[in-house]
Amino acid sequence: MEKTTVKKIATRDAYGQVLVELGHENPDIVVLDADLAKSTKTAEFAKVFPERFFDVGIAEANMIGMAAGLATCGKIPFASTFALFGSLRVADMIRNSVCYPNLNVKIAVTHQGLTLGEDGASHQAVEDIALMRAIPNMTVIIPADATETKKAIRAAANTHGPMYIRMGRPSVPVLFDDSYEFEIGKGVQIREGNDVAIIATGVMVHIALEAAELLAQEGIQARVINMATIKPIDEEIIVKAAQETKGIVTAEEANIYGGLGAAVAEVLCEKHPAKLRRVGVQDTFGESGKPDELLQKYGLTAENIATKAKEMLK
């Protein structure tokens, strides 16, 4: 299933493309942005469907409220900005205007986590997964590559309910071809192995595959699971991994508190206690730098994942 291609596409670019496709297919799709249309790539949709695109200016709270209103009238609004401004900035609006009435609003954010890069800590959302996961009715999805982004956005458009879809700024390897099947709420095993399991999301998925390569060189077979949906989490695939391997490493581009690692820990504690190590941002703010430098400095690397995996085999 995984391919050894080196082709790289940013998930936000795939988002811009699939929005245009959806715009042609479904006249109810509307798009909102808060003065970041060129960066989030909603500008692609704006070019083709100017009458269904609303740039509200730098007013994210108003954007979420307008999206909620549009949804009450049967529209399928995609509201986009950077991850930070589409989550922490507007947490109460999302909770009370979107999730409480269970409206069909898709909050599709880009520039997630540390790999936003040079803009630095003020713009690097590492808390958004935890926050969005805590709101009832919310679905949280983090696609790993361009292919999965397109499929996830399509699934979001075709499934009722509030969703938070988190995408990235830099180009990342294309891991999947068109035969890849995406289903909301389902993890996908993308590499076999019964010594340890690595459960990763978003940009960390291709890094998890690298970690599995490193481990294989030492004779350790690591299973890799792409967990694109953080909520609702795929409990079955987690329990199976716990039963069939000696321990689990989670990997995410976010604070270890409240994110993927925490979600996996919750499932394990209740269903099948097992060894667990969490690779992620260790409860700290980020900083300016190039995406790769930041992943390195904050330990979001294949080497670190491999080290954590080996700890559990001792």
Partner 1 sequence: MSTIAEGKLAELKQRANHIRQEIVKMVAAANSGHPGGSLSAADILAVLYFHEMNVGPEKVNDPDRDRFILSKGHASPVLYATLAEKGYLPKEELATFRRINSRLQGHPSKKLLPGVEQSTGSLGQGLSTANGMALAARLDKREYRVYALLGDGEIQEGMIWEAAMAAGHYKLDNLVAILDYNHLQIDGNVEDIMDIGPVADKFRAFNWHVIEMDGHNIEEIVAAFAEARTVKGKPTFIVAHTIKGKGVSYMENACGWHGVAPNEEQLKQALAELCAQGGDK
Ligand X SMILES: Cc1ncc(C[n+]2csc(CCOP(=O)(O)OP(=O)(O)O)c2C)c(N)n1
Residues making contact with partner 1 (CB under 8 A): 33, 35-39, 43, 55-59, 61-62, 84-85, 89, 117-123, 287-290, 293-294, 297
Angstrom distance (rounded) from CA 146 to CA 174: 6
User: Annotated catalytic, 51?
Assistant: no
In the numeric block, which tokens belong to residue 70? Answer: 């549009």
**Residue 214 beta carbon to partner 1: minimum distance, rounded to whole angstroms:** 24
Is residue 59 a contact point for ligand X (CB under 6 A)? no
Nearest residue to 295 via CA among 206, 214, 216, 218 = 206
Shorter beta-carbon distance to partner 1: residue 65 or 143: 65
Task: State the binding partner of 269 from ligand X, partner 1, none, CB within 5 to 8 A by kind.
Answer: none
Is residue 58 a contact point for ligand X (CB under 6 A)? yes
Greatest alpha-carbon pair distance for the chain in Å reads 61
**Residue 114 beta carbon to ligand X: minimum distance, rounded to whole angstroms:** 17
**Residue 206 beta carbon to partner 1: minimum distance, rounded to whole angstroms:** 22
**Residue 164 beta carbon to ligand X: minimum distance, rounded to whole angstroms:** 17
Interacting span for ligand X (CB under 6 A) from 33-41, 67-75, 97-105, 250-258? 33-41
Is residue 176 a contact point for ligand X (CB under 6 A)? no
Interacting span for ligand X (CB under 6 A) from 34-42, 206-214, 250-258, 273-281? 34-42
Please pick, among 60, 127, 235, 253, the residue that the annotation labels catalytic. Answer: 60
Shorter beta-carbon distance to ligand X: residue 89 or 106: 89
**Residue 67 beta carbon to ligand X: minimum distance, rounded to whole angstroms:** 16
Is residue 35 a contact point for ligand X (CB under 6 A)? yes
Task: State the binding partner of 312 from partner 1, ligand X, none, CB within 5 to 8 A by kind.
Answer: none
Task: State the binding partner of 120 from partner 1, ligand X, none, CB within 5 to 8 A by kind.
Answer: partner 1
**Residue 3 beta carbon to ligand X: minimum distance, rounded to whole angstroms:** 35
DSSP run (H or E) holding 108: strand 106-109
Nearest residue to 95 via CA among 134, 128, 135 = 135
Site string for ligand X, 69-98 (x = CB under 6 A): ----------------x---x---------
Interacting span for ligand X (CB under 6 A) from 16-24, 32-40, 209-217, 244-252? 32-40
Residues with catalytic function: 60
Query: Under the rule (CB under 6 A), what is the footprint of ligand X?
Result: 34-36, 58, 85, 89
